[in-house]
Chains A and B, each alone.
Chain A
Amino acid sequence: MRNFFLLLLIASACNAPDFKDFSQLGELRIMGIVADTPEIDGTRSDDVQVVLTPYLSHISGGARKFTVVVVSCLDPSLSQETNQGCLDPKFAAYPNGNTFDTQVLAEDNFTGAMDAVTITIVNPAAQLAAFSPQQRYNGVNYVVIFRLEHGATNLTAVKAIPISERKTLNRNPEIKDITLVQQAAAKTLAPLNVDVSFTDAGGEESYTEMSADGSIDRLTESYFITWFYYTGKIKPRRILLGQSSKYQPTPRKNTLVAVVRDRRGGTAVKVRQLPGS
Chain B
Amino acid sequence: MRLSLCWKVISLLLATSTAFAGVRISGTVFEKGTAKPLPLVNIFVLPEALQTTTNEAGEFVFADLPEGEREWIINVTGYKRFKEKFTYQKNHEAVKIYLEKISYTKFETTVVGKLDKRDPAKKTLQQKEFLQVPGAGGDPVRAVENLPGVGQSFDANVAIQGSPPEDTKYLIEGHELPFMFHFFGLNTVAVPETVKSVDFLSAGYGAEFGRAASGIINLNLRRPRTDRLHGMAFVDFTASGGYLEGKIGKTASRNFFVGGRYSYLGEVLKIGADIARKNSDDDNVPPAFSTAPTYYDFNLSYHDDRHERFKFSFITLAAKDKVVGTTSDAKSTIFSGTIFGEFEFFRLIPKLSYQFNPDEKLETSWAAGIDWQRFRPGRQKLNFTSQHYSWRSEYRKKFTPHYEWAVGTDFVYERFHNEVRAAEGFFSGDDALTPLAATKLLITEDTGDDLRQGYYLSNRITLIEDKLILTPNLRYDYFGSHAQGYLQPRGGVIYRINAAANAYFNSGLYYQPEQPFNLSKHTGNPKLEPSKSVHYALKYEHDFRQGSEDGIVVTSGLFYKDMRDLKLRSNAQIKTKNGLVPERFTNDGQGNVRGAELLLKYKQSRAHLNVGYTYTRSRRRAQDDKDYPSPQDQTHNLNLSASYAWNNYILASRFRYVTGTPYTPILGGIYFENADTYVPVSGAKFAERNQDFWQLDVRLDRRWIFNTWILSLYLDVQNVTLRDNQVGTAYSFDYSQSEPTYFIPILPTFGIKGEF
A residues with a Cβ closer than 8 A to B are 1-6, 8-23, 30, 32-33, 76-84, 129-136, 155-160, 209, 211-212, 217, 219, 222, 224, 226, 235-238, 240, 259, 261, 263-265, 267
Contact = CB atoms under 8 A, between A and B. Distances in A.
A16 B284 contact: yes
Contact of A16 (B280, B575, B670): B280
Contacts of A12: 269, 272-273, 276, 286-287, 289
Contacts of B575: 130
Instruction: For the complex of A and B, list the 6 residue pairs with the smallest distance between their C-beta atoms, beginning with the closest.
Output: A16-B284, A77-B571, A19-B732, A12-B273, A5-B183, A132-B579
From A159, A209, A263, name the one whose CB has the most chain B CB atoms within 10 angstroms. A263
Contact of A211 (B186, B325, B444): B444
B283 A22 contact: yes
Given A10-B727, A158-B671, A159-B673, 15 more contacts: A2-B430, A6-B184, A6-B185, A17-B741, A19-B283, A21-B282, A80-B433, A131-B580, A158-B679, A160-B672, A211-B444, A238-B333, A240-B337, A261-B676, A265-B674
24 contacts: A2-B426, A5-B321, A8-B325, A9-B183, A10-B743, A11-B287, A13-B272, A15-B279, A17-B737, A19-B283, A19-B733, A32-B673, A78-B670, A79-B571, A81-B571, A132-B576, A155-B671, A158-B671, A159-B673, A211-B444, A236-B328, A237-B282, A240-B337, A263-B441
A72 B553 CA distance: 67
Contacts of B154: 6, 10
A8 B287 contact: yes
Contacts of A217: 443
A20 B733 CA distance: 8
Interface string B169-199: 0000000000000011110000000000000
Given A82-B571, A157-B670, A13 B744 contact: yes
Contacts, number: 204
A135 B674 contact: no
From B434, B576, B674, name the one whose CB has the most chain A CB atoms within 10 angstroms. B674
B496 to A, nearest CB: 44
Nearest to B273: A12
B591 interface: no
Interface string B307-347: 00000000000000101010010110100110001000000
Contacts of B742: 14
B681 interface: yes
B435 to A, nearest CB: 10
A21 B283 contact: yes
B445 A211 contact: yes
Contacts of B155: 3, 6
B434 to A, nearest CB: 5
B673 to A, nearest CB: 5
Contacts of A237: 282, 330
Contacts of B578: 132-133
Given A6-B183, A80-B681, A217-B443, A16 B579 contact: no
A12 B287 CA distance: 7
Contacts of A6: 154-155, 183-186
Contacts of B379: 222
Nearest to B622: A81
Nearest to A265: B674
B276 A15 contact: yes
B443 A9 contact: no
A160 B674 contact: yes
B521 interface: yes
Contacts of A13: 269, 272-273, 276, 744
Contacts of B183: 5-6, 9
Contact of A83 (B325, B373, B576, B681): B681
Nearest to A5: B183
Contacts of B272: 12-13
B333 A263 contact: yes
A157 B734 CA distance: 11
A26 to B, nearest CB: 12
A22 B735 CA distance: 11
B434 A80 contact: yes
B185 A5 contact: yes
B573 interface: yes
Contact of A159 (B273, B279, B337, B674): B674
A5 B323 contact: yes
A17 B729 CA distance: 10
A132 B571 contact: no
A13 B269 CA distance: 7
A204 to B, nearest CB: 12
B291 to A, nearest CB: 14
A136 B664 CA distance: 34
Interface in B401-455: 426, 430, 432-434, 438, 441, 443-445
Interface in B86-130: none
B675 to A, nearest CB: 8
A235 B282 contact: yes
A236 B282 contact: yes
Given A10-B744, A14-B744, A133 B579 contact: yes
A35 to B, nearest CB: 9
A18 to B, nearest CB: 8
B608 interface: no
A219 B581 CA distance: 23
Contacts of B375: 1, 4
B382 interface: yes
A147 B344 CA distance: 49
B311 to A, nearest CB: 39
A235 B337 CA distance: 15
A81 B680 CA distance: 10
A70 B172 CA distance: 58
A222 B333 CA distance: 11
B522 A1 contact: no
A17 B284 contact: yes
Nearest to A209: B443
B581 A211 contact: no
